[in-house]
Every structure is written in structure tokens, then in C-alpha cells.
Amino acid sequence: MRALVYHGPGSRALEERPVPVSRNSEDAIVRLTRTTICGTDLHILKGDVPTCQPGTILGHEGVGVIDTVGTAVSGFQPGDRVLISCITSCGRCDYCRKGMYSHCVDGGWVLGNKIDGTQAEYVRIPHADFSLHHIPDGADEDALTMLSDILPTGFECGVLNGKVQPGCSVAIVGSGPIGLAALMTAQFYAPSVLIVIDPDRHRLELAKRFGATHVMAPDTHVVADVMSWTEGKGADTVIEAVGVPASFELCEELVAPGGTIANVGVHGCKVDLHLERLWSHNITITTRLVDTVTTPQLLRAVTAQKLDPASLITHRFRLENMDEAYDTFGKAADSKAMKVIIQP
Ligand SMILES: [Zn+2]
Ligand SMILES: [Zn+2]
């Protein structure tokens, strides 16, 4: 089969690999029909993710069809259409029993990181019963590809951790795929003010189309503008969807007394926490790696057309054009790429 293989910082190649085989009775082998590229794949290629060893097939998102299952898999059989969760979970360990699949002792984020991932024609999924979801008949596979990672990430780490409430004010710093996923799913709760901040004007236009009430670049008067849109209080929920010190520190300036900063961004270096100002502001700061516990809920919302994640898709490629797909996704400011769909 063809697969996109990581070869160390700055290096990747589309090459021939053997079709994966089951190593454990709980494994399933899935033939992919859709996959995509995530910002995290770009982090791996920069060398930011030391757990990902050269030789690993990249990718942790996708949908497909079950090819074979191990003898202990009871919920799936060959031919079933499935959504692959970016988080693998055994369903039995202490973390899994608390719904913290991201920290599963025999799983978590392993696909396209510690084991071969989904940017290939086939993938081996460990603990298939807990790590796959059935796709209902007639469901749009493009839309569901957005449910492997970005929709549950925006919803769980941003909206749920951020305690978005009806009528509240929300500010989202970062208008990439995750920021927009938070923007879409925040609207389940009907906030009254929904601000999106990003330097890219095209991404702000998209945010406006997806329901932002106010958009702006993070320029010198961003704090004053956010105060003016929130009765001088700041935002009740501030969602950090970038992962650099400047954006987290902006969140610290934008949060209202009693509010929550929900971090979603992947941070590679330390960030200053301004307790000299915030110690008395009754704020909460949350962090989380997506657990994908809300995937069944989101799947039903998409199937019932209450959520349209396919609108995040801007480009399509065949697996053989993976280089072009990475270039397009990696140069999003020029290509205006948001999510790309790749069909093996
Ligand atoms: Zn991802
Ligand atoms: Zn577990």
C-alpha cells in the first residue's frame, strides 16, 4: 500500500509499505476512504514531537471500511463503515473509566505518533471496540472526517472546559480549524457575543460566515474593542486556539472577572501568568487534551444537520498527491486552506 512516512525533522515521503496486519485480538484493520492533515502533523514535521520516531506513517484522522477484525472485537465486522477517533482507548483503565481517554495507559494519542497512522491506504486500529465509531447510513464521510479530531477538540477543550453558557460572551483567539470548530460548537449554547481574533483577514471572513458576531486582528486596540463589545467586562469564556505565549497572554487580558480561559493550543514554550493582576479576578484556567468522549454526540448533531463541519473543507487531493496536499495545508496564508480531504 502507499503511505506517507515521517523521516525526521523536515522530511517526509510517500512510499510503498506492507498492508498492516493484526497484532492483537482487539485490533481492526481499516481501509481508509478519507483522511486529512492536521496542524499537529506539521508540528511533527518540524521536530516538535519527540515521541514520533522516523519511519512512522503520519495521520490520526479518517474514515474508512473495516477490512478485518481480531477475535476479541465484538462491535464491528468486515464491511462496516467507521469513523476513526484520533484517541485510542482501551475502555478499562482508570483513566478510560473516568472518560479521560486521552490518558489511556494503553492508548491516548498514539495514531500517527507512536504507531503508524491514517495517511495511508490501510491502518491498524488497536482496541477497535472503543476507538472506532459506526457511521450511520447516508452520512457524509467528508463531514465525519472532521469528527476524528478537530470538532471534539474545539468542543471539549474549548467550549465545554470554557463553560460556555446561554447569553454569555465568548472570545476565541485563533481562527484556524480548531478555533472555527470551537466557534461552531459554541453556538449550541447561544452565546450573545462571539468574538474571533486572528491576523489573517481571510480566516476572519470565514469566522464571520460561521457565526462570529465580531472579528478583529490582534492589534493594539484589541483589548479596548473586546471591552467595548462586552459592557467593559471582558469575555466570560476566552478560548486559546493558537499555542504561542502572545496569544495566551492576550487571553489573560481579555477574560472577564469570574470567567474562564480554556486553553486548546499546543504550547512549545513557557508562558507568563499575570497573577499580579489576576489573583483577585476569580478566573479559572483549564487545559485538556481531547478525550473524544463527545464524538457520539457530535456524530448525531452532524447526522441531524445541526452542525455542518464539511464547510471547513477547502481542498481535496488523492493520496498520490500528498506532497501537494502538505504544501497547500502548510502555506495556508497563501492557499487559503482550512481542512483538506485526502482520498486514498
Ligand atoms: Zn489533529
Ligand atoms: Zn484505557
Which has the closest alpha carbon to 89: 105, 76, 73? 105
Closest ligand to residue 149's CA: 1
The dihedral of CA 14, 17, 22, 23: what is its sign? negative
Query: Domains along the chain?
Result: 2-149+291-343 (3.90.180.10), 152-286 (3.40.50.720)
The Å distance, Cα 152 to ligand 2 centre, comes to 18
Closest ligand to residue 126's CA: 2
Question: Helix, strand or coil for residue 334?
Answer: helix
Residues with CB under 5 A from ligand 2 (ion): 90, 93, 96, 104
pLDDT mean across residues, the chain: 97
Closest ligand to residue 95's CA: 2
Closest ligand to residue 177's CA: 1
Residues 271 and 323: their CA atoms lie apart, in Å, by 34
Closest ligand to residue 329's CA: 1
For 61, which DSSP code?
-
Which has the closest alpha carbon to 128: 153, 107, 142? 107
The Å distance, Cα 61 to ligand 1 centre, comes to 7
**pLDDT (mean) for 314-332:** 96
**What pLDDT does residue 292 have?**
98
The Å distance, Cα 253 to ligand 2 centre, comes to 37
The Å distance, Cα 88 to ligand 2 centre, comes to 8
Residues 264 and 154: their CA atoms lie apart, in Å, by 7
The Å distance, Cα 318 to ligand 1 centre, comes to 19
Instruction: Evaluate if residue 282 carries a pLDDT over 90.
Output: yes
Confidence of residue 268 (pLDDT cuts 50, 70, 90): confident
- Enter the C-alpha cell of residue 117: 497512522
Closest ligand to residue 90's CA: 2
The Å distance, Cα 242 to ligand 1 centre, comes to 13
Task: For 203-232, write each residue's pLDDT tens digit.
Answer: 999 999 999 999 999 998 999 999 999 999
**pLDDT (mean) for 2-20:** 97
**What pLDDT does residue 252 have?**
98
Question: Helix, strand or coil for residue 309?
Answer: helix
> 271, 245 in Cβ contact below 8 A?
yes
Instruction: Evaluate if residue 183 carries a pLDDT over 90.
Output: yes
> 37, 158 in Cβ contact below 8 A?
no
**What pLDDT does residue 306 have?**
94
Closest ligand to residue 49's CA: 1
**What pLDDT does residue 48 have?**
86
Task: For 20-61, write each residue's pLDDT tens digit.
Answer: 999 999 999 999 999 999 999 999 999 989 999 999 999 999
**What pLDDT does residue 293 have?**
98
The Å distance, Cα 281 to ligand 1 centre, comes to 33
Task: For 53-82, write each residue's pLDDT tens digit.
Answer: 999 999 999 999 999 999 999 999 999 999
Task: For 113-143, write each residue's pLDDT tens digit.
Answer: 999 999 999 999 999 999 999 999 989 999 9
**What pLDDT does residue 77 have?**
98
Which has the closest alpha carbon to 244: 275, 263, 272, 269? 269
Closest ligand to residue 153's CA: 1
Residues 336 and 314: their CA atoms lie apart, in Å, by 8
